[in-house]
Structure 1
Amino acid sequence: MTRYLEGQTAIVTGGMRGIGLGIARRLHSAGAQIVIWDLAVDGWDSVANGFEPVMRQAVNVASLASVEAGFKEVVAQQGRVDILVNNAGINGPVTPCWEYPPAAWDQVIAIDLTGVFYCCRTVIPHMRERGYGRIVNVASMAGKDGVQYISGYSAAKAGVIAFTKAAAKELAQDGVLLNCIAPAMVETGLMAEMTPEHIAASKAKIPMGRFLQIEEIANMVTWIAGPECSFTTGFVFDLSGGRATY
């Protein structure tokens, strides 16, 4: 496999499991040195996971102080950060909006949207100074369509899409490209937070008739984060199995 990211450093938030782990593994296979950010980073199994990151840091993306402290340590050790993948997120409750717990709403927005802002705000000055960077934000088809009973998640991911478009325009002449992906439902541990009815309804929306696989997301993200993606910024790359029509 071509190691076209050789020598680059990539931070992947929520990288201990699921989609984040898959993305980190694929970036590593392309030559990147991986920094994992997650709430808990103990219990890493390099044999089972297929690689060893250069750093694993307990970082809470919903805390600006935590993000800034973690990033300072990365730069001190690695000297540079070339790629940021904002993947950390939670689904939140599946319930009508009028019954949505306010505390749960605040938590979903804090992690899924504000966390993206905090990480970008912290990393972008470093990338601008170096004149190069690739940022990939993990949004969702829910952010484009608005999915019933997950209004908090839908709102947060819509915010990620709009933030990506706005920030990308600000960075367009700085050598820093900022894009996002909008996956349909993926087979991950987040399904444990969802009702069987919600899962069935989501699958029914996908013309291919199957769920998205983590490896398919990882392949897309790795291309977006690489040098061949050179004239696309502020874009939403769909992974929808035919669901997206715009």
Structure 2
Amino acid sequence: MDNKRFENQVAVISGGAEGLGKAVALRLASEGARIVLFDVNEKKLTATVRVLESRGIAVLGRCVDIADEQAVKSGYKAAEEKFGKIDVVINSAGIVGPTSTSILDYTLADFDRVYQVNLRGAFLIAKYGLQAMAVKGYGRMLLIASIAGKEGNPFMAGYSATKAGVIGLVKGLGKEFAEKGITVNGLAPAVIKTAMNEDTAPEQLAYMTSKIPMGRLGTVAEVAAMAAFIVSPENSFSTGFVYDISGGRATY
């Protein structure tokens, strides 16, 4: 394997301070990418930037709420000012919202909060990322969806609905930019062992794990490896597709 697939490339990763985003950032950086991290958690973002800098990686960290249009625009502007271009965009930021909660008890405020991050945020990251990449006529975009968006997790109405929305966004944008040198793909993980799942109710986590034929949670390293391929130059004839990383759970 060419371990410098991203040499001279600039990758913007939202939700990059921890979990999947951090793992993907480290993987792309190990293959030569310069890294821009967006995250709403300034303390964790600063710590992750220091980790990358300690390894000699060119990195920029920006405190960005991806649901805030101006913050997203400013983040991309800072990335272009520092590195001159954007080649790769990965939207990894997301929240689970209520679990083990019937829609009958699911508040509108909770639904709106999940929507703001998971779907509105994905839209904004995609819109302004594509705008930046279209200038040079090359780009790789990856929006992290979920198996919940494909199959629906009961008692997680907000998460399932918004991740299904991300899948629709991927399919539409993939076609829209298919002749412009830019690919747009998605990745639908089953349960991955991250801090994001720490607040998931044990019975909900057990239910989701029981659906995985491999009988275990995925790891961030496994997600990072697949994400790196999806956004690499060699993945040049796949767009508008949602890849599976679910331990065999996906049925389509």
Given the alignment, which residue of 205, 216, 220 partners 1:214?
A: 220
Distance 1:49 1:19, change over 3 A: farther
Distance 1:47 1:112, change over 3 A: closer
Given the alignment, which residue of 76, 91, 105 partners 1:71?
A: 76
Q: 1:30 deviation in Å?
A: 1.2
Q: What TM-score, normalized to structure 2?
A: 0.94
Does the 8 Å contact 1:89/1:111 carry over to 2? Answer: yes
Identity of aligned residues (%): 39
Does the 8 Å contact 1:28/1:51 carry over to 2? Answer: no
Does the 8 Å contact 1:86/1:138 carry over to 2? Answer: yes
- Give the letter aligned to residue 13 of structure 1: S
Distance 1:51 1:201, change over 3 A: farther
Residues 133-212 of structure 1 correspond to what in structure 2 (within 5 A)?
Answer: 133-212=139-218
Cα distance in 2 for residues equivalent to 1:49 and 1:93? 37
Q: Does 1:93 align with 2:98?
A: yes
Does the 8 Å contact 1:93/1:193 carry over to 2? Answer: no
Does the 8 Å contact 2:93/2:117 carry over to 1? Answer: yes
Distance 1:93 1:51, change over 3 A: farther
Matched residue SS, 1:147: coil
9-18 or 47-56: which moved more? 47-56
- Give the letter aligned to residue 8 of structure 1: Q
Matched residue SS, 1:43: helix
1:237 alignment partner in structure 2: 243
Q: Deviation above 6 Å: which 4+ runs of structure 1?
A: none
Does the 8 Å contact 2:53/2:59 carry over to 1? Answer: no
Does the 8 Å contact 2:146/2:189 carry over to 1? Answer: yes
Does the 8 Å contact 1:203/1:209 carry over to 2? Answer: yes
Cα distance in 2 for residues equivalent to 1:12 and 1:114? 16
1:169-215 alpha-carbon deviations (Å, 9 max, x no partner): 01000000000000000111122221110011011000011111110
1:43 alignment partner in structure 2: 47
1:208-233 alpha-carbon deviations (Å, 9 max, x no partner): 11111110000000001101100000
1:121-150 alpha-carbon deviations (Å, 9 max, x no partner): 112122112010000000000000010111
- Give the letter aligned to residue 11 of structure 2: A
1:20 alignment partner in structure 2: 21
- Give the letter aligned to residue 74 of structure 1: A
Alpha-carbon RMSD across the aligned residues, in angstroms, is 1.5
Residues 109-124 of structure 1 correspond to what in structure 2 (within 5 A)?
Answer: 109-124=115-130
1:62-121 alpha-carbon deviations (Å, 9 max, x no partner): 000100011111111110000000000000011111111211111101101110100111
Cα distance in 2 for residues equivalent to 1:156 and 1:5? 30
Which blocks of at least 5 consecutive residues in structure 2 are unaligned? Answer: none
Distance 1:204 1:170, change over 3 A: same
Given the alignment, which residue of 105, 108, 112 partners 1:106?
A: 112
Does the 8 Å contact 1:9/1:80 carry over to 2? Answer: yes
Which blocks of at least 5 consecutive residues in structure 1 are unaligned? Answer: none
Cα distance in 1 for residues equivalent to 2:54 and 2:184? 27
1:33 alignment partner in structure 2: 34
Matched residue SS, 2:85: coil
Cα distance in 1 for residues equivalent to 2:168 and 2:227? 19
Matched residue SS, 1:178: strand
171-180 or 97-106: which moved more? 97-106
2:62 alignment partner in structure 1: 57
Cα distance in 2 for residues equivalent to 1:43 and 1:188? 17
